[in-house]
Amino acid sequence: MNIQEIIITKVKEAVLSIFDKELPTVELQATRKEFEGDITVVIFPMLRTIKGNPQQIGEQIGAYLEANVSEIEKFNVVKGFLNLVISDAYFIDFFNQIKLNSTFGYKNPQEGEKAVMVEYSSPNTNKPLHLGHVRNNLLGYSVAEIIKAAGKKVYKTQIINDRGIHICKSMLAWQKFGNGETPASTGLKGDKLVGNYYVAFDKAYKAEIENLVAQGVDKATAEKEAPLLLEAQEMLRKWEAGDAEVVKLWETMNGWVYEGFDTTYKNLGVNFDALYYESDTYLLGKDVVADGLERGIFYKKEDGSVWIDLTDEGLDEKIVLRADGTAVYMTQDIGTAIQRIKDYPDVGGLVYTVGNEQDYHFQVLFLILKKLGFDWAQNLYHLSYGMVDLPSGKMKSREGTVVDADDLITEMASTAEEISMELGKLDGFSEEEKQALYKTIGLGALKYYILKVDPKKRILFDPMESIDFQGNTGPFIQYTYARIQSILRKADFNYKEGNVATTYVLHEKEKSLIKQIELFPEVVQNAASNFSPAIIANYTYDLVKEFNSFYQNVSILGADDASEKMFRVQLSAKVAEVIANAFSLLGINVPERM
């Protein structure tokens, strides 16, 4: 049991012994800095169970704890808050136990526990990944890593939207304007080349609409009857009918895009365990709808379309099959969820990383799956997130003004280079080492800036602000890690061996640092249950602030005696390890030198 669990048990024991009452819960919090103490027991919630003066109740419980818990040295009560001073020996013993545990804070999966599948990215194959996809990928990857660290098996997946009118628009534009060019002949990444043709289609389509309007056709009709759009729709019909020529072009152009995506994913540092393709899943779900129709979960309208009525749950009626028998996205998502559980029978829950504009869609999807009777439908979660804006305004993909993910990664490395050069921090680095470091700093800045914000909030992303070497930024935390590595390199002894004596008297800054380290396992569990990398990011910033305060207030390598020096180097090493482990959950690397 950790100290918090011991205190909770003993407070309940005290209340039973002194007041003859069963206390249902005990509320603890960190003692405020202006008071003496480490852990505070909040007395006020107890007044529902125990009648009396909170000051006196606190004094009585405090006296019981001091007498019966060896780790508690003394206590004080301030206005209904019982502040407990924990002995140095407890913190030193804790530190000795964890200092060589390189996975401190992480749990291993329990035998027989269900796995979780996390879906993220899920791009369209008509354009490259952009800033919005970057937030999606970083969130999904990080949440998967956090859930894994919290003790569950995790599968990372995406469903690639590789069919539909959007890809036909790119294909048709390439046929008309491409002159046979390829990624190899142009030197462009495949996703960028295909994306250029999506933009080219839109430009030509708009020109046709203008032309029709000039001839007296009203705009709404012109938008529906522009020849280019009709050709794209015909191409889609041919694809669905299995036309050999169209299917071959579709396979070729999608192949270009996948190669491009793979490069971006590698640069971004994300990966997947399983891939699904909409071209394989778009017919899934129709059998489920037919079965649900028989069971009275769905109903058929006069025109033959199939619906579900969710008005009793505060939602509306939702179509699941069109009158012509074709599926809608909801049908496909129902089928894909069921298929995933068939493919991975150990999965007991799914997390969908999708923007908040789809909140309603997922409410409906999860409710339908529950009504269909799947037990795993209780464990579905929509990791809903806000959009990412730039100071220059909102992004639009059709017009080709999107902030490209690859360009952003390159720009972040360049910005890191500019700032590092200004600060003159990289003396003695080879050019190759410098370039690797710029990428580590740039990507770390980007990832941290996005992940430190609660997923539900919209972000205004400022590249320059993200690469500040001061404040709540990735580079500031990376710099602290590198500073600790420098201390460890200078240590002229094997700091990994030997325990700290429990008689050692802790400096207040040493104690604060151990207390911050002790929180890490709870932070990992909290971040996993809230699907929030921001909890990990902000904990790491607090740890780094605590270390820097320690660094400024005590001498590490110049300590007065050998045991002090040994302990402070060991403590610094543990802080660095926790920083690295926390950052790995965010997908961020830490440099050995900076």
Residues 459 and 545 in one domain: yes
Neighbours of 101 (CB within 10 A): 11
With bands split at pLDDT 50, 70 and 90, how would you rate the model's confidence at 399?
A: very low
Tokens of 194: 């295909």
Residues 453 and 550 in one domain: yes
Which letter does DSSP use for residue 111 in this model? T
Give the residue numbers spanning the domain of 184.
164-274
Do residues 127 and 189 lie in contact, with contact meaning Cβ atoms separated by under 8 Å? Answer: no
Do residues 338 and 374 lie in contact, with contact meaning Cβ atoms separated by under 8 Å? Answer: yes
Burial of 558 per CB tally in 10 Å (0-12, 13-18, 19+): exposed
Residue 113 placed within a domain: no
The closest of 135, 110, 106, 156 to 580, measured between CA atoms, is: 106
Residues 579 and 452 in one domain: yes
pLDDT at position 558: 92
Rounded to whole angstroms, the Cα distance separating 144 from 521 reads 16
Phi, psi of 348 (to 5 degrees): -120, 5
290-to-85, 284, 447 alpha-carbon distances in Å: 65, 12, 44
Please determine, for residue 262, whether its predicted confidence score (pLDDT) is greater than 50: yes
């405090």: which residue's tokens?
62
pLDDT at position 394: 46
Per-residue pLDDT reduced to its tens digit, 146-189? 999 999 999 999 999 999 899 999 999 999 999 999 999 999 99
Q: How large is the average pLDDT for residues 376-401?
A: 75
Q: How large is the average pLDDT for residues 380-404?
A: 72
Residue 420 placed within a domain: no
With bands split at pLDDT 50, 70 and 90, how would you rate the model's confidence at 397?
A: very low
Beta-strand ranges (E) seen in 13-88 are: 28-30, 39-42, 72-78, 81-86
Please identify, among 231, 253, 274, the residue that sits at the C-terminal boundary of a domain.
Answer: 274
Rounded to whole angstroms, the Cα distance separating 15 from 48 reads 13
Q: How large is the average pLDDT for residues 226-251?
A: 95
Per-residue pLDDT reduced to its tens digit, 414-470? 989 988 887 776 778 889 999 999 999 999 999 999 999 999 999 988 888 898 888
pLDDT at position 398: 45
Please determine, for residue 594, whether its predicted confidence score (pLDDT) is greater than 90: no
Residue 353 placed within a domain: no
Per-residue pLDDT reduced to its tens digit, 269-320? 999 999 999 999 988 999 999 999 999 999 999 999 999 999 999 999 999 9
Rounded to whole angstroms, the Cα distance separating 244 from 492 reads 71
> What's the whole-number average pLDDT of the chain?
93
Rounded to whole angstroms, the Cα distance separating 207 from 224 reads 14
Please determine, for residue 401, whether its predicted confidence score (pLDDT) is greater than 90: no
Rounded to whole angstroms, the Cα distance separating 320 from 322 reads 7
pLDDT at position 402: 65
Residues 478 and 570 in one domain: yes
Q: What is the pTM of this model?
A: 0.92
Per-residue pLDDT reduced to its tens digit, 473-502? 999 999 999 999 999 999 988 888 888 888
Residues 51 and 168 in one domain: no
Q: How large is the average pLDDT for residues 362-378?
A: 97
Per-residue pLDDT reduced to its tens digit, 116-146? 999 999 999 998 998 889 999 999 999 999 9
Tokens of 328: 């809608």
Q: Which residue has the higher pLDDT, 368 or 500?
A: 368
Residue 237 placed within a domain: yes
Per-residue pLDDT reduced to its tens digit, 537-590? 999 999 999 999 999 999 999 998 889 999 999 999 999 999 999 999 999 999
Residues 570 and 455 in one domain: yes
| Beta-bridge partner residues of 327 | 321
171-to-159, 175, 239, 246, 340 alpha-carbon distances in Å: 21, 6, 11, 9, 30
Rounded to whole angstroms, the Cα distance separating 227 from 582 reads 55
CATH of the domain at 66: 3.30.1360.70
Tokens of 456: 């539900």
pLDDT at position 396: 46
Residues 62 and 179 in one domain: no
Q: How large is the average pLDDT for residues 393-420?
A: 75
Residue 269 placed within a domain: yes
Residue 592: left (phi > 0), alpha (psi -120 to 50), or beta?
alpha
Please identify, among 67, 86, 105, the residue that sits at the C-terminal boundary of a domain.
Answer: 86
Please identify, among 212, 240, 274, the residue that sits at the C-terminal boundary of a domain.
Answer: 274
Residues 77 and 206 in one domain: no
Q: How many domains does one find in the chain?
A: 3
Rounded to whole angstroms, the Cα distance separating 427 from 115 reads 47
Q: Which helix (H) or strand (E) holds 91?
A: helix 88-98
Rounded to whole angstroms, the Cα distance separating 515 from 539 reads 12
Residue 474 placed within a domain: yes
What single letter denotes the amino acid at residue 6? I
b/e burial code for range 538-554 (CB count within 10 A of at least 16 → b): bbbbebbebbeebbeeb
Residue 368 placed within a domain: no
Residues 174 and 57 in one domain: no
The closest of 591, 593, 568 to 579, measured between CA atoms, is: 591
Angle between helices 131-149 and 244-268 (to 10 degrees): 60
pLDDT at position 1: 77
Residue 493 placed within a domain: yes
DSSP 293-312: HHTTSSEE-TTS-EEEE-GG
Residues 64 and 175 in one domain: no
Residues 456 and 564 in one domain: yes
With bands split at pLDDT 50, 70 and 90, how would you rate the model's confidence at 405?
A: very high
| Beta-bridge partner residues of 28 | 41
CATH of the domain at 486: 1.10.730.10
Q: Which helix (H) or strand (E) holds 543?
A: helix 533-553
Q: Is 333 helix (H, G, I), strand (E, B) or coil?
A: helix
pLDDT at position 499: 87
Per-residue pLDDT reduced to its tens digit, 61-111? 999 999 999 999 999 999 999 999 999 999 999 999 999 999 999 999 988
Tokens of 44: 């006020």
238-to-184, 248, 283, 331, 485 alpha-carbon distances in Å: 28, 12, 16, 22, 61
